[in-house]
Chain A
């Protein structure tokens, strides 16, 4: 008995919200205070890595076409890569700042996968609209982690990065398997649940 796909989106939205709040806190208090306790410095990179791991069962059980499977599989890979790289950086095993480029890479791959795997037009249904919106948000927002590669201490970039996750979480919480968007719902989509 599997939960509906929209609930998986909400669970990931919750994790993204926690991730965003952690990043925002780090931006507010500064890296030194944030890393005062050893467990805390691994918190958000570990969360990102963990989200990559749980994306694999999502890929296995919640994809209904090859393009869905490729999209979710690529998210799992880039999330684990970006989270793992950040874990290596905070641990000190990785030294080069170029490892931070894994995060904009994850954003670009995620955004592209969102747009490519949504086969319907923007106003087909709410889920189609949100998939397009999420994809373009990820693609545009990729400039923020890219900027952080060169200016990792910038509070503006850190805050923008954190708020990006909060906005993405809000979008995912709006997702429904079958619901209208701004009054539009294609008759081909079916009948809404509620």
Chain B
């Protein structure tokens, strides 16, 4: 194999590794919020909404973590992956 071909193969692997990591960041963040909700369900006031005030029902830390993951996956990661793939071609 020529060294140029090996170099281009390595570069391609590095790019696909980077794309894989970027595509994981959002789902991992969402999963972190979900795991937190499972581990500490008593902190998720939506599960026991009686006698809770407005803010305790609206702002839930686990959901904020998941929301950050969803925002990142849809708004940042998706177009970023497209740009990364475009560079590969």
Contacts and interface: CB of A to CB of B under 8 A. Distances in A.
Q: For the complex, would chain B's binding face be called helix, strand, loop or mixed by DSSP majority?
A: helix
Given A10-B59, A29-B22, A33-B83, A43 B68 contact: no
B68 A10 contact: no
A191 interface: no
A11 B65 contact: no
B76 A29 contact: no
Interface of A: 1, 3-4, 7, 10-11, 13-14, 17-18, 21-22, 24-25, 28-29, 33-34, 36-37, 40, 43, 173, 194
30 contacts: A1-B54, A1-B55, A3-B55, A7-B55, A10-B59, A10-B61, A11-B59, A13-B61, A14-B65, A14-B68, A17-B65, A17-B68, A18-B68, A18-B72, A21-B26, A21-B68, A21-B72, A21-B76, A22-B72, A22-B76, A24-B25, A25-B77, A28-B18, A28-B21, A33-B80, A33-B83, A33-B84, A34-B80, A40-B79, A194-B42
